[in-house]
Structure 1
Amino acid sequence: MMNKPSLLRLTHITIFIAMAALSLLANAKTLDERQWQVKSPNGKIEIRVRGNKALGLEYQIVHWHNEQEKVAVDWSKMGITSRYYDVNEQQLIPIDTDFSKDLTYFRGKRIRGKQTYSMVTGKRKENEVAYYQRSLNFKHDITNQILRVDFRALDTGAAFRYVLPNNGVLHHQLRAEITEFNIGTNAQHWGQPYDFITMYHPSYETEYVNVPAGTSTPEKLGTGWGFPSLFNTNGLWVLLHESGLGKQFHGSHLQPDAPNGVYKIAGPLAEEALGNGSIYPAGAGEWKMPWRSFAVSNDIGDIVESNLVYDLAEPSKIDDVKWIKPGAASWSWWSDHTSSTDIKSLKAFIVLADKMGWPYSLVDANWPDASETAMQDLVAYAKERKVGLLFWYNSGGPNNFIPEQPRNILHDRQSRRKEFKRISALGVKGIKVDFFQSDKQFVIEQYLSILEDAAEFKLLVVFHGCTIPRGWERTWPNLMTMEAVRGGEFYTFSEDIPYGLYAPKQNTILPFTRNVVGSMDYTPVAYTHRQSKRYTTFAHETALPIIFESGIQHLADTPDAFLKMPEVYKDYFWKLPTSWDETKFLAGAPGEEVIIARRKGKKWYVAGINGENEAKEWKVDFSKLINRGTEARLYTDSEEEKYFSLKLTIPKGKKMSITVQPFGGFVMVFKEPK
């Protein structure tokens, strides 16, 4: 028979439990009692956090320069509402936790971090990033649920993310995100309206507009503001975006209204993907949500050169990347939308790639209609010429209603892997996957599963009709590029879409916005006029493959356009690099002009484009180009010649005056130094 515990023993246990509880409570702090800060290693970026019992958590981002602080993002609300289910007599009872209020702080952690990583694609090959991080843990006073918020300050910007700690195998849902971005109204905004839902959208293909901060999305243009969004506020440049998006979350954007310049986070719309899939993401285990990121500087060049989206992304999941080769590609669809069903036309573009030293050619939609053995025949033909082929696939599945073929393969993992195994064995080098039309979680999971399976079978990947880049090129280096831009294909659509009118201005906004956050498949070089009239000059078009970064650069025009140009222009396009060891911003302003220098090996390429309808004289400073040569060839506009170029000698330390035509441009290729 068991002995009953003595009264003295019970008293000791009771006192011990009470003391432990008092100790925990003593360490817990109400939000009204605490503020936190974290500064970047160089001291330029500071994140401040404060709490209020009723109002919850708020953050502020400050930039320091010459011992003076400027507010980049003023005090802004933050928090999420999560849901889990309590099982009571086999009934699911939803338990919602509003982490925007009723919080108690109980533990924190400081981290000093440093990373080095290499990129296969992008603006800079070798990267080193240092940061300070502060993780704050909060308990909800009513539901006892735990929320961790990681705040990270880097030399080039700031970021934070929400984390639900490991709560077992059951999923939690995100019911709402309360994150705000208080830019204020004394600022300018360069933003891309989030697409309406149509047969082909949303796909981040609207034009960027410049409006005062706080302006609502124009009703005729979209249903919100997309990421990335650029702001000029208080003498600072701020680029809002997100990174580290995984399978357990959806893609986000900004709500259409921003009263008093306070922007709010938004998730995908319920009608996206034909209504399939939930708008409430769910995650299990330690649920890390995407980083809310802020590239911040008083110099717009730092924004253009920023790799913050990759600094925050998950490290590469591919150990051996030697098989991943960026490069230029010929592309038949731009000049003839039906060319992918004609073997003769496709072979002409394979020959073009061969003669121009480009490693790839793209076979676009409906290629199975060319013949039953189209893939095998084309791969064999291209192999003889040492040209690798990429083939187009429809992402649908249930997410779209677009009939282009092949479809109903890549949405299902079993059929997808079977197809990847088959085409890899044939010698196909990569795939272009199109028409995703949603940022819902199940579609994000499809993107990442495609990349994972393609990596196993050593296939390169291009996404079109897709979401915006969010750092995936670091995590999955076989991702060569993504569309998510109103690009060169719009020249081929109806004259009722006046793409040519606003393309010059757009081209000078994209290097400060869309192309900052990842490779951009704009499909440049449109010498030939199509349905929508082109207003850019030949030199402007010639400059675009340098201005725009894309791991695979699909060069749009025809074999005749490239093969009949003067030899000196062929020399420029011959084996044109598409991935870069270094990138330097030399001059420019969004919507007006931009001059960018990129280095491959020991060779520097400098390109500039004019987004305005007036001639300009630029004094270009090359002092940032370390170890450049002094001999160069200039490609620019001339009233007498369509293809104009000349050799130059530019001594070290000397600026050069370059005159460009309205909507014009130039390229300068420096000879490698001896």
Structure 2
Amino acid sequence: MKFSLTLILLCSIAFAHSQSVQSPSKKINVVFALDDSGRPYYTADYNKKPVITRSYLGIKLKDMPALSSGFSVTRTSATSVNENWKPVLGEVAVINNHYNQLFVSLVQQTTGRQVNIIFRVFDEGVAFRYEFPVQKELNYFVITDELTEFSLTANHKAFWIPADFDSQEYVYNETPISEIDNDRLNLNNGIALKSIGGRYGVQSPLMMKTSDGLYLNIFEAAVINYPVMHLSKDPSANKFTAMLVPNALGDKAYLQAPAATPWRTVMVSDDARIIAASKMVLNLNEPSKIDDTSWIKPMKYVGVWWEMHVGRSTWDYAGSQNAQNQLSGQPIRSRHGATTENTKRYIDFAKEHGFDGVLVEGWNTGWEDWFGNWKEEVFDFVTPYPDFDIKEVSEYARRKGIKMIMHHETSGSVANYERRIDRAFNNMVTYGYPAVKTGYVGKIIPRGEYHDGQAMVNHFNYVPQRAAEYKIMVNSHESSRPTGVHRTWPNYIAAEAARGNEFNAWSSGNPPSHETILPFTRLLGGPMDYTPGIFEIKMNAYDAAKIEQVHTTLTKQLALYVTLYSPLQMAADLPENYEKHPEAFRFIKDVGLDWDDTKVLEAEPGDYITVARKEKGTARWFLGAITDENARQADISLSFLTPGKKYKAVIYRDGKSAHWKDNPMSYEIKTISVTSKTKLKLNLAPGGGAAISFFPED
């Protein structure tokens, strides 16, 4: 349902009257106005409490006067939208898109240039963007800075990571806004490439909590042909300003009218569950551009991957010493993981346990000398190593009914990948690979570009568009973080773009609170390939000298399949480790990937979250509950279950002595009968969790 009311206003230098727009529930009120110098600004209230105080808007242009002052309003209009749409893959079967919109058309009196500012106010937050209509006074232009401000009311608690233009793979800091300072951080954290954009820069999404119990989140949506927005903190105030990632020349964005910026978003609620469940970012993106989506399917997979991280095998075929041996005629003692026989072992395991696919990394030539060398042409994406027979592997997988997932590591040489992308995708079609995992480790080529700059954003959006022509699904790693674009290109089924499980294998790892923060930050923009399911928690199982470990209990690893949404989920551990725990492995085999409904039952960022999901097309529900380093009891009502039905609940829980560090692999499994009237008490160990499968008994 849509209706509109348009008010035509005479152009005047002094526009005295402010314009306001409320959320459908009337809880959020946004006011737009011009000050005496014609500078545009906005404010936002929640339940009549100020959330955003006077915050100025504007754009700086290269070799042109800034679009920041001297404006008058020429036209405004108000529109309401309330509509439903169905995602191809998602957390719910139907998404409601309900907002009130304020459209404001501005003209700069001294230049005659026009800018539109559009506000959309949802029940869970505010979104706004700049639009540049076709006009003689502004055709081709270069943005050098965005002057968008977010002025906050107090020194809120913030969950933040540094504004790194090349990586999001950081542990979250939990401090007051006043203590945001990248100079205080210990950056010896396993990240190979760091490009931090200033002492007080932080990344969005920025999650915050006020002293009076409001939850705030600053983010963006629909980042298209524009750089990623980080945030620069004013060290003397509780205020952030948009920080756009530059290109190799120091410019931010090259545009031609008509054009628009991404949506800037401010979510606000007195209930953390509302933030975690929000579909606002998705709603701000365009509908699917793929007509036939029948080939886009969820996938549960295993693969030749974790064994490299724990040191059992290598990505490269020979290795530096073996390469020298090969040249000198000495025997080669390869620990190469991506062999034909090893891959068949994973295919057999996938077949036996009902998995959809197998990922193989290190299958193609080029891994010996690529890392850190900023080399233009490393991989051709089609040539396998001598011990990987791609035809034999593909035919073997086809006979077993298993889909293969291709790996395209670009080594940051994006120019090389784009030159070869059609040959690479043709190769996948030839051998029946329906999905690709792309990687972007290292400094970007073209040299001087950042992962989060305009050129790379365009690349990350281009790959799924190109892949759709070949009916290929995409899972990107080391990419810019998603901003809901998977609504438009639903074959972009997952991304990494945050600190994933792999860091637990060879670095200081991810603290127990890490996964309780991700639903309020990274996951607001789209599904994450976190690669959960590690059962061999301590790395000294592979090398007695290792001190690294996964900072969770085993049952928390199960719960992550529910709390961290993705239609692409990996059982990341080695097959033999699952064979040691067949009862616990049952949950990974059972858990769904695509959902009709999702309920965030309880949540507190940095502390805990409990999520229940109903599998699409079935009556089965699954629940995941996780906590930080503190033990807690979760009191859960099962009112989400269908009334009048009985369910068999298989509960996977921490053992009585379980502890993420001291006893992480202690767990218990219990089966009981439940209904929608049942209330459960789940005892979560420090760094622990619980997972439950609900099967209708009839």
TM-score normalized with structure 1 length: 0.85
| Segment of structure 1 superposing worse, 588-597 or 313-322 | 588-597
AA in 1 matched with 2:695: K
C-alpha separation in 2, matches of 1:284 and 1:357: 50
Paired letter, 1:516: L
Q: Does 1:100 align with 2:100?
A: no
Matches of 1:135 and 1:157, distance apart in 2: 17
User: Would the alpha carbon gap of residues 31 and 468 (structure 1) be closer, same or farther in structure 2, given more than 3 Å must change?
Assistant: farther
Alignment counterpart, residue 470 of structure 1, candidates 483, 492, 501: 483
Aligned to 1:174: 143
Which secondary structure state, in structure 1, belongs to the residue aligned with residue 503 of structure 2? helix
C-alpha separation in 2, matches of 1:570 and 1:525: 9
Return the alpha-carbon distance in structure 2 between the equivalents of residues 173 and 295 of structure 1: 29
Query: Which residue type is aligned with residue 326 of structure 1?
Result: P
Change (3 A) 1:381 1:503: farther
SS of aligned partner of 1:139: strand
Aligned-residue CA RMSD (Å) = 2.3
Deviations 1:432-482 (A, max 9, x none): 111165111111111111111100100010110111111111010001111
Q: Which residue of 1 aligns with 2:161?
A: 192
Partner of 2:133: 165
Find the aligned partners of 1:558 and 1:180 in 2 and give their Cα distance.
48
| Counterpart AA for 1:621 | S
Residue 356 in 1 paired to residue 361 in 2? Answer: no
Is 1:240 matched up with 2:264? Answer: no
Aligned residue for 1:212?
176
Partner of 2:278: 306
Question: What is the CA–CA distance in structure 2 between the aligned matches of 1:61 and 1:431, rounded to whole Å?
Answer: 42
Distance 1:44 1:346 in 2: 55
Alpha-carbon shift at residue 204 of structure 1 (Å): 0.8
Instruction: Check whether the contact 1:586–1:595 (CA below 8 A) recurs between aligned residues.
Output: yes
- Residue 78 in 1 paired to residue 61 in 2? no
2:610 to 595, 603, 616: 595
The one-letter code of the counterpart of 1:333 is W
Q: Where does residue 410 of structure 1 map in the other structure?
A: 417
Preserved CA contact (<8 Å) 1:108 1:136: yes
Shift of 1:279: 3.2
Alignment partners' CA distance in 2, 1:548 and 1:60: 33
After superposition, give the CA deviation of every residue in 1:128-170 in whole Å (9 maximum; x if it has no partner): 2121111111111221110000111112221000000023794
| 1:153 and 2:121 matched | yes
Q: Distance in 1 between matches of 2:157 and 2:580?
A: 44
Find the aligned partners of 2:216 and 2:159 in 1 and give their Cα distance: 10
Q: Show the counterpart of 1:7.
A: none
Equivalent AA in structure 1 for residue 33 of structure 2:
R
Q: 1:568-614 CA deviation, whole Å, 9 max, x = no partner?
A: 4343222532222221111131222221111113211111112124x
Please report how far the alpha carbon of residue 420 of structure 1 lies from its aligned counterpart in structure 2 after TM superposition. 1.4
C-alpha displacement of 1:191: 1.5
Deviations 1:508-566 (A, max 9, x none): 11122222321111111111133522342111112111111112112210011223323
Alpha carbons 1:278, 1:440 under 8 Å: kept: no
1:31·1:50 contact (CA, 8 Å) conserved in 2?
no
- Deviation digits for residues 220-259 of structure 1, max 9, x if unmatched? 355421111111124321111111111x211111125453
Deviations 1:314-371 (A, max 9, x none): 1111111110001211122112252553222222222222222111111124534533
Distance 2:86 2:351 in 1: 29
Give the TM-score normalised by structure 2.
Answer: 0.82
Give the SS at the match of 1:384. Answer: helix
Q: How far apart, CA to CA, are the structure 2 residues paired with 1:259 and 1:362?
A: 49
Q: Counterparts of 2:432 and 2:641 in 1: how far apart (Å)?
A: 40
* 2:425 paired with 1:420: yes
Q: 1:523 to 1:179 in 2, by over 3 A?
A: same
Could you say if the C-alpha distance between residues 457 and 306 of structure 1 is closer, same or farther in structure 2, counting changes exceeding 3 Å? same
The yes-or-no answer on 1:562 pairing with 2:578 is yes
Match of 1:333 in 2: 305
Residue 262 of structure 2 corresponds to residue 295 of structure 1: no
1:485 equivalent to 2:509? Answer: no
Counterpart mapping for 1:24-35 below 5 A? 27-35=10-18
Question: Where do residues 103-118 of structure 1 align in structure 2 (5 Å cutoff)?
Answer: 103-118=71-86
Q: Which amino acid aligns with 2:592?
A: P
Name which of 488, 495, 518 aligns with 2:526. Answer: 518
Q: Give 1:143's aligned residue.
A: 111
Q: In the superposition, relative to structure 1, how do residues 78 and 483 fare at CA in structure 2: closer, same or farther (>3 Å)?
A: same
The CA deviation at 1:34 is 2.2
Question: Are 2:508 and 1:498 equivalent residues in the alignment?
Answer: yes
Q: Which residue of 1 aligns with 2:404?
A: 389
- Does residue 229 (structure 1) correspond to residue 206 (structure 2)? The answer is yes
Query: Given that residues 115 and 128 in structure 1 are in contact (C-alpha distance below 8 angstroms), is that contact kept between their aligned partners in structure 2?
Result: yes
Distance 1:626 1:244, change over 3 A: farther
Q: Which moves more between the two structures, 300-309 or 253-262?
A: 253-262
Query: In structure 2, do the counterparts of structure 1 residues 409 and 355 end up closer, same or farther at CA, with 3 Å as the change threshold?
Result: farther
Q: Give distance in 2, aligned partners of 1:509 and 1:629.
A: 34
Q: Contact 1:505 / 1:611 at 8 angstroms: preserved in 2?
A: yes
Structure 2 counterpart of 1:82, one-letter code: L
Maintained 8 Å contact 1:216/1:257: no
1:317 maps to what in 2? 289
SS in 2 for 1:249: coil
Q: Residues 485 and 521 of structure 1 are in contact (CA less than 8 Å); yes or no, is this contact kept in structure 2?
A: no
Instruction: State which of 336, 340, 345 in structure 1 corresponds to 2:342.
Output: 345
**CA distance in structure 1 between the partners assigned to 2:685 and 2:30 by the alignment:** 44
Distance in 2 separating the partners of 1:158 and 1:32: 23
Q: After superposition, give the CA deviation of every residue in 1:494-521 in whole Å (9 maximum; x if it has no partner).
A: xxx321xx43111111122222321111
Matched, 1:583 2:598: yes
Contact residue 19 and residue 33 of structure 2 kept, 8 A:
yes
1:39 Cα deviation after fit: 1.2
CA distance change for structure 1 residues 175 and 31 in 2, over 3 Å: closer, same or farther?
Answer: farther
Is 1:547 the counterpart of 2:547? The answer is no
Asked if the contact 1:332/1:362 (under 8 Å) is kept, the reply is yes
SS of residue matched to 2:203: coil
Contact 1:121–1:473 under 8 Å retained in 2: no
Matched, 1:509 2:517: yes
Match among 250, 253, 263 for residue 230 of structure 2: 253
**Aligned match for 1:127, one of 85, 95, 107:** 95
Kept in 1: contact 2:152–2:238 (CA 8 A): yes
For the pair shown, which has the larger CA radius of gyration, 1 or 2?
1
8 Å contact from structure 1 (residues 148, 165) kept in 2:
yes
- Which of 607, 611, 627 in structure 1 is aligned with 2:628? 611
Q: Residues 243 and 312 of structure 1 are in contact (CA less than 8 Å); yes or no, is this contact kept in structure 2? A: yes
Displacement, 1:616?
2.6
Distance in 2, matches of 1:214 and 1:109, equals 39
Question: Distance in 1 between the 2:512 and 2:90 partners?
Answer: 23
Query: What one-letter code is carried by the residue in structure 2 that aligns with 1:524?
Result: P
Alignment partner of 1:378 out of 369, 393, 401: 393
8 A contact 1:268–1:438 mirrored in 2? no
Tell me, yes or no, if structure 1 residue 653 matches structure 2 residue 677. yes
Give the distance between the partners of 1:286 and 1:62, measured in 2 at CA. 32
Contact 2:9 2:74 in 1 (8 A): no
Q: Give 1:278 deviation, angstroms.
A: 5.6
Amino acid paired to 2:497? A
* Partner SS for 2:307: coil
Distance in 1 of aligned mates of 2:511 and 2:351: 30
Quote how far apart the aligned CAs of 1:295 are.
1.9
CA contact (8 A) 2:115 2:130 kept: yes
Check whether the contact 1:327–1:577 (CA below 8 A) recurs between aligned residues. Answer: no
Whole-angstrom CA distance in 2 between matches of 1:537 and 1:373: 36
